[in-house]
Structures are given as C-alpha cells and as structure tokens.
C-alpha cells in the first residue's frame, strides 16, 4: 500500500507542476514573443513502480504568428534566431521586438533592455528596417542615413536557455554560446519591420491540457484513497 500511496502522491505533484506550467502559458498567451513551455516527466528509477518525477520545463521555440502592428520601431523575426538585447552590461535574447527610442538614442523595450548595435540619432524623422536588419533613418535635410544593423543570435540548443522574464532568455552552459547570424540571406531568417510576433500559445490546446491534468490529479487522489482504505483494513485485522 505504501508504494501505491507514494507513487500516487508523485503523480499528484506532477500534475500540479503540469498545471502551473499550462496556467503560466495561458496567462502569457497575449504577450508578444512569449514561447509556450512544456513540463516533461520521467518514471522514477526506469520503471520501478515508484511513480513519476518532473525532469524540467522547456520552452517550445515554434514560430508565432507575425502580425502588423502600429509601433514605430516594431520588428519581428521570420525564421529561427533571437534579438540580442543588453541592460547594464548583461546580455539576453528575445523574439519580442516591441522597442521604443530612449533619450540616448538606443531602442529599448518596456523592461529597459536595449537592442544591441542600434542608435537612432536625434532628429530622425522616419526609421525603416530592411529584411537583412539594416536600419536606416531619414534626417531633416540630410536624407537617409544608416543607423546600424540588427544582428541575430542563434543557439545550438535553444531549449536549454534560461527564462529571465516572460519572453526574455539568458544563455546557459547547456544552450551553448550565441552564434551571430546575419538576417536576410537566402537560407537565413528575415526581419520584418512594422510587425510583431505573437505568442505561440494555443489557448484551445492549453484548455485541453488543464482538463487532462485535473482528471489525472483526481485519478491519482483516488489511488491515495484506495491505499488508505487498505491500510485501514489491515489495521482492523487484529481484533481484540
């Protein structure tokens, strides 16, 4: 009974963690550049009838839908790769491309991370970004001028990136070092200007996952009850 009791308890814990991850996905379904996460599980000790254990939570870097937006500096990546962003000397990677021009000319997102390598000079009237990431600005009376090029970063194992915020990731030992890739080439990702990448969370699939997790939790709790009932019977075997 005790083995069943503990195995069922690990199942309940697993479904709880599963539910946490799915709920987080749903909560972020409208966040630009958010990536659906998935909890993975493995049987304890191969399969020694000891239950299950969570082995990690991995983001799924499937392309989100690209949607036209109204922001003046909105960019999105069509293909693999990440924007390189920095804040106070720290580097991070994201696919959320909603930026705004800060007072010092850098392009920053809502959390204050700035897009690496781009400075928009003061007095710029209009900005455009080509599919290869080259940024050009139109200045008063001076015509068009280059303002840097957006570099994309790629990783050997992007699933191993560490989430730093809802759509921001940091490099880890497992993910490997970032490799710079140039956008716009024949076999390369392209940058879309005036566009944002929506989250890749499917609300319907998440709802189904919640239902399944709830039922699995219930089934595990029934096992706990059954094991408990058997223990009660055992305790009543000896009648004095």
Partner 1 sequence: MATAMHAAKARLDVAASNLANVSTAGFRRSIARAALRGAGLVTTSVPDVAPGPLRRTGRSFDLAVAGEGAFFVRDRTGRAVAERSASFERDRRGRLVDESGRALLGERGPVVAGADATIDARGVVTVAGYDVATIVVRPGTTLQSGFLEGANVDAVHEMVEVLEAQRAFETAQKTLSAIDDERQKDVDDVGRVKQ
Judged by the rule CB under 8 A, the positions of this chain that interact with partner 1 are 1, 3-5, 7-8, 10-11, 14-15, 18, 36, 38-43, 47, 49-52, 55, 60-62, 79-80, 154-160, 176, 186-187, 189, 200, 205, 212-213, 215-216, 219-220, 222-223, 226-227, 229-230, 233, 237, 239
Place of tokens 């209009």: 126
In the complex, what is the shortest distance from the CB of residue 54 to partner 1, in angstroms, rounded to a whole number?
10
Least Å from the CB of residue 3 to partner 1: 5
Please say which residue, 27 or 233, places its beta carbon nearer to partner 1: 233
Which of residues 29 and 119 has its CB atom nearest to partner 1 in the complex?
Answer: 29
Compare residues 188 and 195 and give the one whose CB is closer to partner 1. Answer: 188
- Nearest approach, Cβ of 43 to partner 1 (angstroms)? 5
Torsion of CA 229, 234, 236, 238, to 10 degrees: 180
Nearest to partner 1 of 52, 166 (CB atom): 52
Radius of gyration for the chain, computed over Cα atoms and rounded to the nearest angstrom: 25
* Closest CB 9 distance from partner 1, rounded Å: 8
Kindly state the smallest distance separating residue 194's Cβ from partner 1, in Å: 23
Q: Which is nearer to partner 1, 31 or 80 (CB)?
A: 80
Contact 189/61 with Cβ under 8 angstroms? no
């Amino acid at each position: 009974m005790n083995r069943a009791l503990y195995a069922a308890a690990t199942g309940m814990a697993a479904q709880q963690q599963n539910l946490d991850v799915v709920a987080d996905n749903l909560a972020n379904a409208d966040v630009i550049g958010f990536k659906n996460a998935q909890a993975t599980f493995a049987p304890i000790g191969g399969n020694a009838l000891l239950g299950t254990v969570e082995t990690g939570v991995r983001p799924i870097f499937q392309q989100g839908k690209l949607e036209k937006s109204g922001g003046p500096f909105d960019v999105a990546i069509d293909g693999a790769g990440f924007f390189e962003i920095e804040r106070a000397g720290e580097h991070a990677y994201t696919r959320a491309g909603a930026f705004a021009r800060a007072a010092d000319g850098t392009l920053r997102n809502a959390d204050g991370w700035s897009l690496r390598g781009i400075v928009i000079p003061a007095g710029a009237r209009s900005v455009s970004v080509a599919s290869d990431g080259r940024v050009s600005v139109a200045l008063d009376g001076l015509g068009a001028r280059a303002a840097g090029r957006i570099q994309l970063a790629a990783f050997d194992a992007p699933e191993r990136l560490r989430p730093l915020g809802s759509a921001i990731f940091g490099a880890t030992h497992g993910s490997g070092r970032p490799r710079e890739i140039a956008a716009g080439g024949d076999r390369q990702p392209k940058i879309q200007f005036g566009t944002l990448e929506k989250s890749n969370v499917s609300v319907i699939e998440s709802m189904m996952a919640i239902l399944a997790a709830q039922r699995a939790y219930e089934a595990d709790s029934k096992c706990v009850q059954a094991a408990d009932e058997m223990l009660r019977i055992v305790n009543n075997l000896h009648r004095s």
